[in-house]
Structure 1
Amino acid sequence: MNDRPLAQIDLIDNSTSVELSSNRTSLSFERTRMSADRTLMSTVRTSLSLIGFGFTIHSVFGKASALIPNIDQTGTRLGLALLTLGILMLVMGIYGHATFGRALTRRRERLHELALIHHAVEYRATPTLVIAVLLLAAALLALGSVIFRMNS
């Protein structure tokens, strides 16, 4: 902690109440950023379920059609649709998270420019965002594999 007397500590507007308000504001930005990460995590979980179910359903019905020649292709199409929906949801979640992070950075920079908070922080990619992008790459590979198998 800081051992300097209160009079020597850099306070915003030389006011302890403004300083406390600034600290609460800074912490609220951190809570908001963590909330955005939790939202992205829930989007990743939901899209992963859609992608997993879609790939599994497509694979099961694809193997069944090899055993039973006249089976309807509805199951295969359903699997492909779920896989595609999962990918679309993941793309929208990643885009929304990145857009929100940039907007949050701009708001915090603005408060710093107005000397209402001490530090401007640029929010960078979080582990959640990195995992979401890697999952998107894996899902696109799975979609490519499904489409390649359908055409061959």
Structure 2
Amino acid sequence: MAEQTPAKSPVRPERLAPTPVPPIPDTSSAKGEEIPTIYSHFRTGLSRHRTGLSEHRTDLSEYRTDLSMHRTDLSENRTEMSMRRTGMSIQRTRMSADRTLMSEIRTSLSMISFGFTIYQVFRKLADSGAITSGRAPGNFGGILIVLGMIILIGGIWRHVQFALQLRHLRKEMIDSQLIHGQSAYPVSVALVVAILLLIVGLLALLSIIFNISLFG
């Protein structure tokens, strides 16, 4: 939708300078035939006075009409801006959900990588004979991996649920013409990364449980 240039505010008509009402003529010294003529001139003066007032009232009415139209234009501009702000708010909300999921990904990644590192270190020490058994540290590493995966699963579930609700709300607002819905609503990259990390964590856990080297 094209941007609308706000119209200038209408100019108020100048104030009407007060003019005195024509005085009532004195016909005490007039002759009989002159009295109607005198009153006729008086009525003409009154009519001109009323005409001037009527023209000023007409100017004021036109000014009020222009003001109403100007306010209507301003209201339409405000409505347009509100629709765009609402659409941007939905996008910001989606980005906030992505940032929340990324925080959970960082926490889960730290736990999975640390747990797998503990398992690998103590496994190598046990294989070299430096320690008698690395089972207990390996179990601890597996627990860390499981906890990291639980965080990921919870984060993915919450993110998907929130994203579906937000999409549904956005569609309703578009159908109700509350927002334009011109901007794209792409798939969350954070969600894709979280799913891939969950697969990596599952592979790491399987390598610990079955004592196999899935990562070389």
TM-score normalised by length of structure 1:
0.81
Q: d(CA) in 2 for partners of 1:125 and 1:4?
A: 33
Q: Is the CA contact 1:105–1:121 (under 8 Å) kept in the aligned structure 2? A: no
Higher relative contact order (CA 8 A, sep 6+): 1
Query: What is the number of equivalent residue pairs in this alignment?
Result: 143
Matched, 1:102 2:188: no
Q: Is the CA contact 1:102–1:123 (under 8 Å) kept in the aligned structure 2? A: no
Alignment of 1:43-122 (within 5 A): 43-66=104-127, 67=129, 68-69=131-132, 71=133, 73-119=135-181
Q: d(CA) in 2 for partners of 1:106 and 1:122?
A: 15
SS at match of 1:15: helix
Out of 38, 44, 55, the residue aligned to residue 99 of structure 2 is: 38
Q: Per-residue deviation at 1:101?
A: 0.8
Given the superposition, is the C-alpha separation of residues 72 and 121 from structure 1 closer, same or farther in structure 2, using an over 3 Å criterion?
same
User: Structure 2: where are the runs of 5+ without partners?
Assistant: 8-74
Q: Which amino acid aligns with 1:38?
A: R
Greater Rg, structure 1 or structure 2?
2
The residue number in structure 2 matching 1:134 is 196
121-130 vs 29-38, which deviates more?
A: 121-130
Whichever structure has more helix as a proportion of its residues is 1
- The runs of at least 4 consecutive aligned structure 1 residues that moved more than 4 Å come to 3-7
TM-score normalised by length of structure 2:
0.59
Q: Per-residue deviation at 1:128?
A: 1.7
Matched, 1:2 2:64: no
Q: Per-residue deviation at 1:124?
A: 4.0
Q: What RMSD, in angstroms, separates the aligned Cα atoms of the two structures?
A: 2.5
- Indicate the percent of aligned positions where both proteins have the same amino acid: 43
